């Protein structure tokens, strides 16, 4: 068949360019044609619409998918949008999807990072899933990722998602749901899809008696080298695999921003989390504790040196609230941020009440960059520890007669 022939020629082209695998073998970095720079054959396009299911090398598409050229207007009245990686990207219309088979290590954890941009002024969601080979796609749970708030001045945001591989070969799917969307041509544009193998949450212990996993946030999703905007970690349910091992991002539709030392001031190590949407998002972790143990939670609060100014009296300082089940109240750390970096430590002492203790961190205020873009920003948190010591049993008084 002509389409098959075209596909073979496209594949040969890719093979000659050194991209040798039939399906992507998941090492850290971009998926095969993850930036969509290998174009579909013109014979499988009608205008910008991709008509062939297998037209885009290494990907399979369903539904209305458009192949976007950087700098070209998307339609009357639309903005011209430069794409984050290379010069091409895909727009997923209502109910459209794009998928790729991945070779992974069975039982291992992976995070996927992708860039997305909203194109219509309406709430958009992407549904991400992995279907194990031979699995039933309809029965595979998917995760909703809200593409609603724009967090960067460019209009493009990088998002992270994670999964545990149930099989050695899985199909990774980005699906644009068609719920509540009026215009079928509306839909997010996606680009720069990359993957990273994560350490299992249990292998990210802090040492030194720290009960928290990944308290220093050193383990986390792939940050595309050169991107200065970090990676957004969307909200998740308790049973979801977190791209930030150990931690859960709790929110209805807002995110936490994962940042790197290459582009931001981080209090310790190479990574930290910037809390960019006030109290709408909390970082949560639950650990085993011994009831009655004396616990001390410590954490760093600082500013990311990203021009996020929160300096009294004109602008209230950044405030990070720490809470724990069993604690009498919360502790708030105030950080008067000049947007130039720096950090301080906060401490919350309490007695563990149950055999599980949940620690929570959130920012209680909203901040925007000092530039005129109105970009959301906030305090960075890092190096969170929870150390609990069992109190010696109360000394028994000798009963007198
Ligand atoms: C594109 O498709 C046409 C028709 O199917 C075919 O003749 C041509 O070789 C294809 N080109 C490439 C680069 O695959
Ligand atoms: C291309 O799309 C237009 C509408 O946008 C449609 O009228 C036309 O039939 C399509 N051509 C083919 C070959 O599918
Ligand atoms: C995402 O997929 C789930 C099924 O796994 C479905 O219940 C949900 O409605 C989907 N969300 C969207 C926005 O399509
Ligand atoms: C933890 O406490 C609950 C009741 O508060 C109890 O049902 C459960 O068995 C306890 N778990 C462990 C591991 O001690």
pLDDT at residue 45 is higher than 90? yes
Nearest atom, ligand 3, residue 126 CA: 13
pLDDT category at 201 given cuts 50, 70, 90 is confident
247 and 326 in a single domain? The answer is yes
Residue from 318, 304, 249, 303 nearest 280 by CA: 249
Q: 141 in ligand 3 pocket by Cβ < 6 Å?
A: yes
The answer to whether residue 190 sits within a structural domain is yes
The pTM of the full predicted model, rounded to 2 decimals, is 0.87
Angle at 236 between CA 192 and CA 345, to 5 degrees: 95
Q: 150, 180, 198: which is the final residue of a domain?
A: 198
Ligand 1 center–CA 6 separation, angstroms:
5
Give SS3 for 15: helix
303-343 pLDDT per residue, tens? 999 999 898 778 899 999 999 998 888 999 999 999 899 99
Atom of ligand 1 nearest to the CA of 3: 5
Q: Which ligand is nearest to the CA of 57?
A: 1
Average the pLDDT over 134-150 and give the result.
87
* 166 shares its domain with 223: no
291 pLDDT tier (thresholds 50, 70, 90): very high
| Chain segment 217-247, per-residue pLDDT in tens | 999 999 988 888 899 999 999 889 999 999 9
| Residue 9 placed within a domain | no
Q: Is the CB of 127 under 6 A from ligand 3?
A: yes
Number of domains in the chain: 2
The H or E element spanning position 6 is helix 2-16
Which of ligand 4's atoms lies nearest the C-alpha of 288?
A: 13
**Ligand 3 atom nearest to CA at 177:** 14
In this prediction, residue 24 carries a pLDDT of 54
The CATH number of the domain holding residue 177 is: 2.60.120.260
Q: Is the CB of 354 under 6 A from ligand 4?
A: yes
Q: Are residues 251 and 288 in the same domain?
A: yes
pLDDT score of 208 more than 90? no
Checking if the pLDDT of 256 tops 80, the result is: yes
The CA 142 to ligand 3 mean position distance, Å, reads 6
193 and 210 both lie in a single domain: no
Name 147's bridge partners: 124
Residue of 3, 4, 9 to test ligand 1 pocket, by largest number of atoms within 8 Å of CB: 9
Structural domain boundaries, residue 153: 21-198
In 79-142, beta strands by DSSP E: 88-92, 97-103, 109-117, 124-132
124 belongs to a structural domain: yes
Q: What is the DSSP letter of 13?
A: H
Residue 399 confidence (pLDDT) = 55
pLDDT of amino acid 76: 47
Atom number, ligand 1, closest to the C-alpha of residue 7: 14
Instruction: Enumerate residues 6+ apart whose C-beta is below 8 A from 41.
Output: 6, 9, 10, 52, 55
Q: Pick the residue with more confidence: 395 or 112?
A: 112
- Asked if residue 21 has pLDDT above 50, the reply is no
Whether omega for the bond prior to residue 313 falls within 30 degrees of 0, making it cis, is yes
Dihedral sign, Cα of residue 70, residue 71, residue 74, residue 80: positive
SS3 assignment for 200-213: CHHHCEEECCEEEE
**Alpha-carbon distance 205 to 210, whole Å?**
7
Indicate whether 69 belongs to any domain: yes
Q: Give the model's pLDDT for residue 16.
A: 32
Looking at 146, 168, 198, the residue that finishes a domain is: 198
183 contacts 195 by C-beta, under 8 angstroms:
no
Range among 135-144, 296-305, 327-336 with highest mean pLDDT value? 296-305
Cα(41) to centroid(ligand 2), Å:
16
The pLDDT of residue 393 is above 80: no
Closest ligand 3 atom, CA of 176? 14
% of the chain exceeding 90 in pLDDT: 62
Q: Which of 330-334's residues contact partners 24+ apart within 8 Å by CB, and which partners?
A: 332/364, 333/299, 333/301
Between residues 361 and 20, the one the model is more confident about:
361
Please choose from 355, 356, 357, 358 the residue to mutate so as to test ligand 4's pocket, defined by most ligand atoms within 8 A of CB: 355
- Predicted pLDDT at 34: 95
DSSP state of 134: T
Q: Which stretch of 181-190, 207-216, 252-261 has the lowest confidence by average pLDDT?
A: 181-190
Instruction: Answer yes or no: are the C-beta atoms of 301 and 272 closer than 8 Å.
Output: no
**Same domain as 269, residue 191:** no
Note whether residue 12 is domain-resident.
Answer: no
Q: 13 lies in a domain?
A: no
- One domain for residues 297 and 372: yes
Phi, psi of 134 (to 5 degrees): 85, -5
- Average pLDDT, whole number, for the chain? 86
Average pLDDT over residues 159-176: 96
> What pLDDT sits at residue 202?
83
* Ligand 4 pocket residue status of 355, Cβ below 6 Å: yes
User: Is the domain of 230 the same as that of 351?
Assistant: yes
Q: Which ligand is nearest to the CA of 355?
A: 4
Element holding 283 (H helix, E strand): strand 282-288
Are both 247 and 288 inside the same structural domain? yes
The Cα diameter of the chain in Å comes to: 101
Residues 221 and 358 in one domain: yes
Distance CA 304, CA 363 (A): 14
Specify whether the CB–CB gap between 343 and 301 falls below 8 A.
Answer: yes
Give the number of the ligand closest to the Cα of residue 354. 4
Query: Are 265 and 308 within one domain?
Result: yes
Using a 10 angstrom Cβ sphere, with 0-12 exposed, 13-18 middle and 19 or more buried, the burial of residue 94 is middle
Residue 178 shares a structural domain with residue 244: no
Domain boundary pick from 198, 225, 252: 198
Q: Are 341 and 303 in contact (CB under 8 A)?
A: yes
Same domain, 186 and 257: no
Q: Is the dihedral of CA 188, 194, 199, 200 positive or negative?
A: positive
Say yes or no to pLDDT of 172 above 60: yes
Per-residue tokens: 303: 């500013």
In a domain, 16, yes or no: no
According to DSSP, the residues that pair with 117 across neighbouring strands are: 189
Among candidates 17, 390, 385, which has minimal Cα distance to 216?
A: 385
Say what the pLDDT of residue 78 is.
Answer: 52
Q: Decide if 10 is inside a domain.
A: no
Residue 378, both tokens: 């906030």
142, 146, 174, 234: residue to mutate for ligand 3 pocket, most atoms within 8 A of CB:
142
């Amino acid at each position: 068949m002509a389409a098959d022939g075209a596909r073979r020629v496209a594949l040969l082209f890719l093979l000659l360019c050194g991209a040798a695998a039939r399906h992507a073998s998941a090492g850290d970095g971009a998926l095969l044609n993850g930036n969509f720079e290998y174009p579909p054959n013109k014979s499988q396009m009608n205008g910008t619409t991709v008509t062939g299911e297998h037209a885009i090398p290494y990907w399979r598409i369903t539904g209305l998918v458009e192949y976007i050229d950087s700098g070209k207007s998307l339609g009357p009245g639309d903005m011209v949008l430069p794409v984050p990686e290379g010069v091409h990207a895909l727009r997923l219309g209502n109910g459209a999807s794009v998928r790729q088979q991945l070779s992974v290590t069975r039982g291992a954890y992976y995070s996927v990072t992708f860039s997305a941009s909203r194109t219509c002024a309406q709430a958009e969601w992407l549904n991400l899933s992995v279907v194990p080979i031979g699995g039933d796609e309809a029965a595979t749970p998917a995760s909703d990722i809200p593409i609603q708030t724009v967090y960067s001045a460019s209009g493009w945001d990088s998002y992270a998602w994670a999964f545990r591989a149930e099989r050695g070969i899985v199909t990774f799917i980005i699906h644009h749901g068609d719920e509540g969307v009026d215009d079928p041509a509306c839909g997010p544009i996606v680009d720069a899809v990359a993957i990273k193998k994560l350490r299992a949450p249990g292998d990210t212990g802090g040492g030194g008696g720290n009960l928290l996993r990944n308290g220093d946030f050193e383990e986390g999703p792939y940050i595309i080298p050169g991107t200065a905007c970090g990676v957004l970690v969307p909200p998740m349910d308790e049973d979801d695999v977190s791209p930030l091992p150990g931690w859960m991002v709790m929110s209805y539709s807002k995110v936490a921003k994962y940042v790197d030392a290459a582009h931001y001031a981080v209090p310790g190590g190479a990574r930290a989390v910037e809390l960019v949407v006030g109290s709408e998002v909390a970082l949560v972790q639950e650990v085993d504790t011994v009831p009655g143990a004396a616990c001390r939670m410590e954490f760093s609060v600082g500013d990311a040196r990203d021009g996020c100014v929160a300096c009294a009296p004109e602008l209230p300082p950044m405030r990070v609230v720490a809470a724990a089940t069993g604690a009498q109240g919360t502790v708030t750390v105030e950080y008067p941020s000049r947007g130039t970096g720096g950090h301080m430590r906060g401490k919350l002492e309490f007695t563990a009440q149950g055999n599980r203790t949940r620690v929570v961190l959130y920012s209680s205020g909203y901040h925007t960059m000092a530039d005129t873009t109105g970009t959301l920003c906030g305090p960075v948190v890092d190096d969170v520890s929870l150390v609990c010591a069992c109190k010696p049993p109360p000394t028994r008084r000798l009963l007198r007669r």
